Structure 1
Amino acid sequence: MSRLSLSLAINDYDHVRDLLDARIAVTGIDLVPSVLPVEEIFYRTTHYQEWDLSEMSLAKYASLRSQGDDRLIGLPVFPSRVFRLSSLYVKAGGGVASPGDLRGKRIGVPEWAQTASVYSRGWLAHDQGVALTEVEWVQGGVNQAGRREKVAVRVPEGVRYRPSPDKSLTAMLLDGEIDAILSARPPAPPAGREYEIVRLLADFETVERDYFERSGIFPIMHLIVMRRDVFNANRWIANNLIKAFTQAKDASIARLEDITCSHFPLPWMSQRAAEAKAMFGGDPWPYGVAPNRVTLDAFLRFAFEQGVCHRPMQADDLFPPEVSAAVRV
């Protein structure tokens, strides 16, 4: 029986690598991988759907779905998750020392619909009491001028938001034209000026742990999407892919936990893995809808409030019914 060949665009992750080099096989499927930077994957997927499967920004995918664009379907496989309270950058000694100081200030974002920005704006509004309307938002490339939104957004009435196509956010922060940057990709100041930009939250891990314990939100940045025509022609492939991605992820975590030899060039990795398992109740990187419902529903609420999503949505709206429930035997 012939196997189905599917193209996959994804970044380079240890928890996916066993799939890419075929140490773990997908039942009935041969993957043809392209390992690329995520920004390139997102652009080419959003506009052209060049691959059968691809990594995708959660915000961009949710925005498209909320607008009735159903060319892609989601799989509850999340290759990138990052607590993003470390992604707020300010000028050293510039007068912004706490989140509350951002009221009345100018914050640069690479895109209104960047997933990291959605979570961080949600945290500012709901946890820190800094409303969207209390900030002037400036959109532009972090380290290169000219970046544009990839999806249509509906910035809420009363929110001040403007593009700045002619200058990077990093240059604007250094020159005092904005007061902070909120971005997944960190600013890269020119040589000699590296210490002029610092994180707003120096002890961000403590703040992020506290936020997780109170909210249950472990931010999902990216998911795997599939072209709908590919899915409709072979609906069995969705769960086969999820199983294989899960096996690859579990193998990666096993390497982290292995104390026999060092699989990663950092000390105490097994101890950190054990701490993460304890913190997250067993699986530190869960796939599937049910174990991620709190995070997904919170994200979708933030995204609708911010105009990234054009209608209210819930976690189940992102995925076909075949993958929304775990199979138990």
Structure 2
Amino acid sequence: MSELQVNMTLRAYDHLVPLFLGDVPTPGLKLNLDHRVPMVSTLSENLAAAEVSFNRYVLAAAKGDDSIIGLPAFILRGFRHRNYIVRRDSPLENLSDLRGARVGTNSWSDTGTMWARAAMRDAGVAVTDVNWVIGDLDEANPLKPPTHMDVDPPQGTQFLRSGQTLMGSLRDGGIDALTTAFMPDSVFEPHGEFRRLVRNFREVEREFHQRTGVYPGFHIVAVRRDFAEAHPQAVMTLYDALRKSWSIWWTKAKKFAESSPWAMEEIETQVRDFAGDIPPFGTESDAHKRMLAMICHEQFAQGLIPTAARPEELFAGFDSIKAKVSG
């Protein structure tokens, strides 16, 4: 019997390298992985599965859009307290200092930006306490094209004119701070012109995690609904392959821990403090339930959605497929 061809877009994260190398069996499937294309918001007819924005997926679920089925595979996670930057000489030192400030961002609907605002709100600064500015990050990173799952920023948000950039505005004092996914090189330089707003971000993020129990998820894997309904076993095979890839990587990481001088300490920190988030799959653990509840609450509290999604229903489609295959 010939294998089912499954086209999929996916970034080549470390824990997915075994999958890309072909070290993970996918019985009955021929996975055609592409890590070179930008992340998609909708799955075309020739794309069965893809890495997608978790924020946009939950927004769609809140609106009743079930055209794709999300798998509880939280393949990209992180904290966003660290993702605010200011000028080196800025008097701002904490997220609470952003009240009344002019803060730039190059995306309103990205999951990371949503979690960055959640961190700010946790520090006591409401979304409406900030004067938001949206525009191109720099000449090399323009605004992303809008998608049907994007939401509008608050009234009064300023949009930069053509030729203006957020980095330029931060440099010349047009804005006070900036939150974006990837830090400019100068942040990593000891005396660069920009620095992180939260200098002790690890300490602040650790406190946030200890208090809330939430390790934010950014991206998940999703499949087209018609594909899933036609090939439920293929969906479970894919999900199992993602889990197996992570398991192979995790075993290797614990054996070698060669990615940085203190990678072993990081692994032990994960085992000690993030047990409910290891592995990053499923919705059964209390840690994952807390994270799902928080993303639904934050979308409503930030004014992204008039009615919050129900966390227990976010992966109902996957649960149905799983039950069908298991039964």
- Quickly name the TM-score band, shorter chain normalised: 0.7 to 0.9
CA contact (8 A) 2:108 2:152 kept: no
Tell me the residue number matched to 1:19: 19
Match of 1:95 among 66, 71, 91: 91
1:182 aligns with 2:179: yes
Cα distance per residue 1:265-290 (max 9 Å; x no partner): 42232332122111112653421122
Residue 178 of structure 1, CA deviation = 0.8
Note the C-alpha offset of 1:304: 2.1
1:152 maps to what in 2? 150
Deviation at 1:142?
2.0
In structure 2, do the counterparts of structure 1 residues 96 and 256 end up closer, same or farther at CA, with 3 Å as the change threshold? same
Please identify, of 7-16 and 277-286, the stretch whose mean Cα deviation from structure 2 is larger.
Answer: 277-286
How far off is 1:305 after superposition?
2.1
Aligned twin of 1:105: 101
Relative to 1, partners in 2 of residues 1:275 and 1:326: Cα closer, same or farther, differing over 3 Å? farther
Does residue 268 of structure 1 match 2:262?
A: yes
Once the two structures are TM-superposed, the CA of residue 154 in structure 1 deviates from its matched residue by 4.4
1:73 and 1:319 in contact (8 A); partners too? yes
1:189-230 alpha-carbon deviations (Å, 9 max, x no partner) = 69x997111001111111111100000110101000111121
Question: Does the 8 Å contact 1:90/1:198 carry over to 2?
Answer: yes
**Structure 1: runs of 5+ lacking an equivalent:** none
Moved more, 201-210 or 147-156: 147-156
Alignment partner of 2:250 out of 243, 253, 258:
253
Instruction: Please give the alpha-carbon distance, in whole angstroms, between the structure 2 residues aligned to 1:322 and 1:224.
Output: 11
Cα 1:170–1:245 shift into 2, 3 Å: same
Aligned to 2:81: 85
Aligned to 1:195: 192
Deviation for aligned residue 1:4: 1.3
Q: Contact 2:12 / 2:20 at 8 angstroms: preserved in 1? A: no
Note if 1:304 corresponds to 2:300.
Answer: yes
Partner of 1:277: 271
Overall identity of the aligned pairs, in %: 27
Cα deviation, residue 311, structure 1: 2.6
Cα–Cα, structure 1 residues 274 and 168, in superposed 2: closer, same or farther, change >3 Å?
same
TM-score, normalization by structure 1? 0.87
Matched ranges for 1:128-147 at <5 A: 128-144=123-139, 146-147=142-143
Scaled by the length of structure 2, what TM-score is found?
0.88
- Structure 2: segments with no counterpart, 5+ residues: none
- The worse-fitting range, judged by mean Cα deviation, of 60-69 and 209-218 is 60-69
The equivalent of 2:207 in structure 1 is 210
Distance 1:147 1:47 in 2: 21
- Residue 286, structure 1, aligned to residue 280, structure 2: yes
Shift of residue 121, structure 1, vs aligned partner: 1.0
User: Which amino acid letter does the alignment assign opposite residue 268 of structure 2?
Assistant: A
Q: How does 1:64-75 map onto structure 2 within 5 Å?
A: 64-75=60-71
> Any conservation in 2 of the 1:106–1:136 contact (CA below 8 Å)?
yes
CA distance in 1, matches of 2:276, 2:52: 26
What CA RMSD, in Å, does the superposition of the two structures yield over aligned residues?
2.7
Per-residue deviation, 1:85: 0.8
Tell me the secondary structure at the aligned position of residue 288 of structure 1: coil
Aligned residue pairs total: 318
Stretch deviating more after TM superposition (234-243 or 78-87)? 234-243
